[in-house]
A and B are shown apart, each in its own frame.
Chain A
Amino acid sequence: SQQGEEDPQALSIQEGENATMNCSYKTSINNLQWYRQNSGRGLVHLILIRSNEREKHSGRLRVTLDTSKKSSSLLITASRAADTASYFCATDNNNDMRFGAGTRLTVKP
């Protein structure tokens, strides 16, 4: 299966702390994307990292990609209560995108 698998399944932290979520996958990819989903709502695209990139930043988000280990991580720095959501990685191989099960992040104020 090409699907990304996130860990942990659930993460609970205090506001201000950093949150790290990991994603592993099994097959080759063109890019890997991270999405956020608030409870019962749609998917919001956060960041895309291509297979030839190792690290990417966007605001408080930092994504790394290690294609040799077939893994990626999403780091949210200085977390806020509003970051509470589910975070999904999705592997993309020529527009064939498959999602992982997600990490449920809870940031306590």
Chain B
Amino acid sequence: EPEVTQTPSHQVTQMGQEVILRCVPISNHLYFYWYRQILGQKVEFLVSFYNNEISEKSEIFDDQFSVERPDGSNFTLKIRSTKLEDSAMYFCASNQAADTQYFGPGTRLTVL
């Protein structure tokens, strides 16, 4: 069964550094999403992406964040200058239309 994959599974970085989290959505999906989950807290929506542009973003998704689909398969989340509070699990998801979103296994980001 096709699945969403994410790399790396764990990323450790120093405060102020840039990180890029990578996702490979399911191949025939058209909508892509990023969510984050701070340890012990709920899953929060960050951004949705369709037709090569952001379709919606939350208040969390400020100028430090950007998303890109650099080729036909990858979907990336970049954090320009990481802060301690960016430490969280980041989940990518994809779907075809207004239907079930399939989640990747997540990337655990630790900012020191």
Contact = CB atoms under 8 A, between A and B. Distances in A.
Interface string B30-60: 0101010000011111001010000110000
Contacts of A41: 105-106
A54 B53 CA distance: 35
A interface: dominant SS: strand
Most chain A beta carbons < 10 A, residue from B42, B55, B95, B105: B42
Contacts, number: 54
Interface stretch (B14-22, B67-75, B77-85, B96-104): B96-104
Interface of A: 30-31, 33, 35, 40-45, 48, 88, 90, 92, 94-102
Contacts of A99: 35, 42-45
B102 to A, nearest CB: 7
Interface residues of B, number: 25
Nearest to A92: B98
Given A42-B105, A45-B101, A95 B31 contact: yes
A105 to B, nearest CB: 15
Given A41-B105, A45-B101, A102 B91 contact: no
